Structure 1
């Protein structure tokens, strides 16, 4: 079985060795698990805690960019140009309404991924691109694409920590195993210090036996911790992107918003 034992941190909020920020990759190659919602909501929650936060949209679908009120079609510079070495990260970063900075994405990133596959140092390009701005932030959170290609490998190479959002359903078991195989390769070849924080249950209903059983099976099979609290199922998460804001702004008192605040506090204490 793949070794997925989390690696301990010497101090709280330990920075990535090559930056001044703690870099968190949020990844799961299965789509529709609340990955983008988690990135946007944690970013807003950490900003509310007084942290300087940069979110990186590494998904060609640009869902995070759209969710934070930025029209991808109106962007002249995005993460695509940064990864290809045509622009600096500082040239592409925009400020959102919730005091969170964003390195946005566009659909052109899909074509760039194919180009990157033939480039030297492709897994290191995001890490290198973020180094000049990392000192400006306490946290950098990367929204990975729902795949295990070059972009996800680059995100895991740049990251100090990995969080796996997970809907507790049958197919989740297979997806986690595939992701951990990729983590094993990244640790072996490009980022030996990558730490797995654990799985974050999303759209979770603890009243159902199936959800509890899947979560227990995954944690016992792979030795992964469960990041708490679980994120409840609610339509408020689907509504928030229409306003270009996170649930922490559109439904600040909702239990889903509070759950992400609590997860942010958990991360700050880890």
Structure 2
């Protein structure tokens, strides 16, 4: 990210003014940005300024159950936040590397990745790459090398804290969010993410067995909190793959809200063909089809997340 650092005041000056339909400075005067503003106009929020956290929020997007929308959530929240003036870094900790693909990262066999940070102590700053066509957004990609990292980490000193050490050496004062896309497991990679972050965001799909496995995730979070990271909290739960035509989806949503209460975002992410299609084009749905229902839902979820930041800081 050399040369990419801009003072917080300068970045804030590039956010839209309240009540205007203008973009985010000249960098955002692109077809993608215009389409995104059109989507916000449909929500009646064109030109709205989103708050920026007082300090960088480090969040792990975790759920060991596969197919619940972890990567999709990470990518689209990151793009939406970046489109509204927040400076965001995505760390792809999943060996499948789907977040890297969705953000347009080239994943060549000899490419440097988060693996080289965890195992070879390479600086995070040297690995972060700007995301094409989305100002304010960077990604530390994953490659297939990461698949063997769990085994290699076992013999290393402070194996659970490798990512935290990398974050400590990285000056995050010019970032507003670091979003970590966790693998669908509760192994050393996920533990590293939870030790390195302060908040956990749990995506839960509105389907049968939605809460299956979440109990084990909650137990692991408590173990990490007790022994490795006392600052860790579950700050956000996001309902995904909601199908309003089925009674089951409504029942699942009600059950999740009953269990997690105010941690659940009001916004629910609907099932969307556009959301599924976007990664095959190396894009998020926010850039692939900004006016689609999926993009609008993620835009609303990101907005809710940004506005919740203030109350989270006040309650700590």
TM-score > 0.5 by shorter chain = yes
Q: Give the secondary structure class of the aligned counterpart of 1:13.
A: coil
Contact 1:13 1:269 in 2 (8 A): no
- 2:167 pairs with 118, 124, 130, which one? 130
Alignment of 1:168-207 (within 5 A): 168-207=206-245
Inter-partner Cα distance in structure 2 for 1:265 and 1:221: 23
RMSD: 1.8
- 1:90 pairs with 94, 108, 125, which one? 125
Aligned counterpart, 2:14: none
More moved, 112-121 vs 174-183: 112-121
- Structure 1: unaligned runs, 5 residues or longer: 1-10, 16-20
Contact 1:68 1:244 in 2 (8 A): yes
Contact 2:52 2:86 in 1 (8 A): no
Aligned counterpart, 2:53: 13
- Structure 2: unaligned runs, 5 residues or longer: 1-50, 309-316
* Structure 1 position 14, deviation (Å): 5.4
Q: Report whether the alignment pairs 1:113 with 2:150.
A: yes
Q: Report whether the alignment pairs 1:151 with 2:186.
A: no
Aligned counterpart, 1:236: 274
* Structure 1 position 125, deviation (Å): 1.1
Aligned counterpart, 2:13: none
Aligned counterpart, 1:163: 201
TM-score normalized with structure 2 length: 0.76
TM-score normalized with structure 1 length: 0.89
Q: Report whether the alignment pairs 1:245 with 2:283.
A: yes
Q: Max radius of gyration: which structure?
A: 2
More moved, 104-113 vs 64-73: 64-73
Matched residue pairs, number? 255
